[in-house]
């Protein structure tokens, strides 16, 4: 397999220039390194007005042939995944490419026996175990569209996603252990599907040996389903633009959208970016600590590394369980060479202290990645000095669920390092900064709205079941541009620093939530009339959630009322979306036209009550005094 990696920074500059001058020639050459059943007729056709983007039009392939089968000739016995369990006393597992291929084929055959066909949607709700990756790949093998839901979302959130995708099957496990906590996943699935008439099958992996209520005719155990399945499964022939998966993500409206990625462009781009950003070499051991439930896990645990024939670590647990040195113990154990985690994990480990790093040999590390949210200078320096011992490159990967792959980032050890700057655009990516009027800002040292001017192979194609929503959300803000929702700064050398969201999206520990989504959840509480949610800076989580809540009257027992709201949000979305702070108020600061002035609430949440700006347009300025007074007690 030919490596797609650029070898010098000068080569990056040349390749970048080519990619902009002639995207079709550039991506056509890269796509040729993959296995296609039928080659494409045209590399690129696009417009951002509808929007309609087609890469490698006319091509046919199966992504799993590229991720698995093509490695069998030379690398059948190479490890694809080392699996490290949550509890270090549980036995670790590993899968070679040959074993993974067999496991995927057997499970794919099991899915077919259950009647699953190309195009069917399958919801996967599982712990971070190898079977999660196997389930994902088995869907891709037979052309079923996977929709992985992070196993931290509640039954209601799971049901919303199943209903939206009209999924016919859920793949889950009896339960999961994450750190010291556990969740009964099958029970959550059972609760969710009481409102999901489309579900006809549930497959349950026996992960923890728990008893489960198995509904006859609907539910089956994973081990029974694969028991007599053959070890080969002919890959389904997919059109290059057939959907590969749906992944739900939050935006500025109350309802998460199903971002749709397709087979060919996603394959080419995730492999290309993985090999370049992580400069993966044949004997390297790569570890991304994300969960496959998020896009980072899809692109940089499952597809990018497997398409590249890489060896990866798959970790079930959390950074600090059962001790704060767990990450570093795993790095030492597997001699990890490339390591990718989130700023929130770095900050949390930093807070535990450097002594937890000391017992471990981290000298195998070459490249340290960070992804999911802006990294602050202190965390960057700690990562660079304490983890990397000033010997490793830091690559700050900026991208989104919608972009499918990394867009702006350092390239391994090749790019110049600049703390808190994600860096330069990867080849094929044309970012621009726009001002409020939508004009491109050319000058150096400026800030603006980050937009992308031309398509790249893994751009989202639609939002499931509602193409208009895709157009309005991403392509209507500025005509002819993909709108990211992020603000960014560009320095005199053309390096980008991501400032953060400019829309109503809050990024908590790298997880995206829309303010409206959380408000809807809070409003589901029977005592709540309305609420407003804002994000505020948090030393470990990056941002945290602050909720201002109006009930029929102020609660007598605030502790109990707060508890009740926490319960409601946990039920509606999941514990991951619970507000850190809740203030009960008699009203919200609204303009005369009824619009909530979030600017004021944001200032209050940030503790800057002295600089609220003009409040004269408020319907009832007295509300602000009440909020300021209360803010000292929260």
In the complex, the residues that contact ligand PRX under the rule CB under 6 A are 249, 295-296, 371-374, 396-401, 422, 484-486, 498, 500-501, 507, 512
| Greatest CA separation for the chain | 74
Q: Is the dihedral of CA 278, 284, 290, 291 positive or negative?
A: positive
CB 505 → ligand PRX: shortest distance, Å?
A: 7
CB 450 → ligand PRX: shortest distance, Å?
A: 8
Task: Please state, in angstroms and rounded to a whole number, the distance separating the CA atoms of residues 582 and 549.
Answer: 7
CB 428 → ligand PRX: shortest distance, Å?
A: 17
Where do we find the tokens 């059962």?
322
CB 487 → ligand PRX: shortest distance, Å?
A: 9
Q: Is the dihedral of CA 409, 415, 416, 417 positive or negative?
A: positive
Pick the closer one to ligand PRX by CB: 205 or 482.
482
Task: Check: CB of residue 56 under 8 Å from CB of residue 41.
Answer: no
Pick the closer one to ligand PRX by CB: 26 or 272.
272
Task: Please state, in angstroms and rounded to a whole number, the distance separating the CA atoms of residues 543 and 539.
Answer: 8
How buried is 311 (Cβ within 10 angstroms: 0-12 exposed, 13-18 middle, 19+ buried)?
Answer: buried
CB 47 → ligand PRX: shortest distance, Å?
A: 23
Pick the closer one to ligand PRX by CB: 174 or 291.
291
Continuous segment of H or E residues that includes residue 349: helix 343-352
Where do we find the tokens 């392939």?
61
CB 376 → ligand PRX: shortest distance, Å?
A: 10
Task: Check: CB of residue 24 under 8 Å from CB of residue 423.
Answer: no
Q: Is the peptide bond before 239 cis (omega within 30 degrees of 0)?
A: no
Closest C-alpha among 38, 28, 95, 94 to residue 65: 38
Pick the closer one to ligand PRX by CB: 233 or 387.
387
Pick the closer one to ligand PRX by CB: 65 or 370.
370
Task: Please state, in angstroms and rounded to a whole number, the distance separating the CA atoms of residues 523 and 606.
Answer: 23
Pick the closer one to ligand PRX by CB: 114 or 255.
255
Task: Please state, in angstroms and rounded to a whole number, the distance separating the CA atoms of residues 290 and 305.
Answer: 14
Pick the closer one to ligand PRX by CB: 31 or 516.
516
Q: Per the structure block, which two tokens stand in for 210? A: 């728990």
Where do we find the tokens 């399958």?
122
DSSP state of 237: P
CB 383 → ligand PRX: shortest distance, Å?
A: 13
CB 474 → ligand PRX: shortest distance, Å?
A: 11
Pick the closer one to ligand PRX by CB: 83 or 398.
398
Pick the closer one to ligand PRX by CB: 399 or 475.
399
Task: Check: CB of residue 104 under 8 Å from CB of residue 72.
Answer: no
CB 401 → ligand PRX: shortest distance, Å?
A: 3
């Amino acid at each position: 397999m030919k490596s797609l990696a650029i070898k010098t920074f000068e080569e990056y500059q040349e390749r970048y220039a080519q990619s902009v001058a002639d995207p079709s020639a550039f991506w056509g050459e890269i796509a040729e390194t993959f296995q296609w059943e039928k080659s494409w007729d045209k590399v690129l056709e696009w417009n951002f007005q509808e929007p309609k983007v087609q890469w490698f039009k006319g091509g046919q392939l199966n992504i799993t042939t590229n991720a698995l089968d093509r490695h069998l000739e030379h690398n059948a016995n190479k490890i694809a995944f080392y699996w490290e369990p949550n509890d270090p006393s549980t036995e670790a597992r590993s899968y070679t490419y040959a074993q993974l291929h067999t496991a995927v084929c057997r499970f794919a055959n099991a899915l077919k026996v259950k009647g699953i066909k190309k195009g069917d949607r399958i919801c996967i709700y599982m712990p971070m175990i190898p079977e999660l990756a196997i389930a994902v790949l088995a869907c891709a093998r037979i052309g079923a569209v996977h929709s992985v839901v992070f196993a931290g979302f509640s039954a209601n959130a799971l049901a919303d996603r199943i209903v939206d995708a009209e999924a016919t099957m859920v793949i889950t496990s009896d339960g999961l252990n994450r750190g010291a906590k556990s969740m009964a996943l099958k029970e959550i699935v059972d609760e969710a599907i009481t409102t999901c008439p489309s579900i006809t099958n549930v497959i349950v992996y026996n992960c923890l040996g728990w008893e489960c209520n198995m509904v006859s005719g609907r539910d089956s155990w994973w081990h029974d389903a694969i028991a007599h399945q053959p070890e080969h499964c002919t890959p389904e022939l997919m059109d290059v633009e057939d959907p590969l998966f749906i992944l739900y993500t939050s935006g500025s409206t109350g309802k998460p959208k199903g971002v749709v990625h397709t087979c060919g462009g996603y394959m080419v781009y995730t492999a290309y970016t993985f090999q370049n950003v992580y400069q993966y070499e044949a004997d390297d051991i790569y570890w991304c600590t994300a969960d496959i439930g998020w896009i980072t896990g899809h692109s940089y645990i499952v597809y990018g590394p497997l398409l590249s024939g890489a060896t990866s670590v798959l970790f079930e647990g959390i950074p600090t369980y059962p001790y704060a040195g767990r990450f570093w113990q795993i790095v030492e154990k597997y001699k990890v060479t490339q390591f990718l985690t989130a700023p929130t994990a770095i900050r949390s480990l930093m807070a535990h202290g450097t002594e937890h790093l000391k017992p471990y040999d981290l000298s195998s590390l070459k490249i340290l990645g960070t992804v999911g949210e802006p990294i602050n200078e202190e965390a960057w320096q700690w990562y660079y000095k304490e983890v990397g011992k000033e010997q490793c490159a830091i690559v700050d990967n900026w991208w989104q669920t919608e972009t499918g792959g990394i867009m702006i980032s350092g390239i391994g050890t090749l790019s110049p390092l600049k703390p808190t700057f994600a860096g330069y655009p990867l080849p094929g990516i044309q970012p621009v900064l726009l001002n409020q009027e939508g004009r491109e800002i050319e000058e150096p040292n400026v800030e603006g709205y980050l937009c992308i001017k031309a398509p790249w192979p893994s751009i989202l194609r639609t939002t499931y079941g509602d193409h208009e929503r895709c157009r309005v959300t991403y392509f209507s803000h500025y005509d002819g541009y993909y709108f990211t929702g992020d603000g960014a700064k560009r320095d005199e050398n053309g390096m980008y620093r991501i400032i953060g969201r400019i829309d109503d999206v809050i990024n908590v520990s790298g997880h995206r939530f829309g303010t409206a989504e959380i408000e809807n959840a809070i409003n589901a509480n029977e005592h709540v009339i309305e609420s407003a949610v804002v994000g505020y800076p948090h030393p470990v989580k990056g941002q945290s959630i602050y909720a201002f809540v109006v009930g029929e009257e102020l609660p007598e027992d605030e502790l109990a009322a707060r508890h009740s709201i926490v319960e409601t949000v946990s039920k509606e979305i999941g514990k991951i979306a619970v507000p850190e702070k809740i203030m009960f108020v008699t009203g919200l600061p609204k303009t005369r036209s009824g619009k909530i002035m979030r600017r004021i609430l944001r200032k209050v949440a940030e503790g800057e009550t002295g600089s609220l700006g003009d409040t004269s347009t408020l319907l009832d300025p007295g509300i602000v005094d009440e909020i300021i007074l209360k803010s000292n007690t929260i």
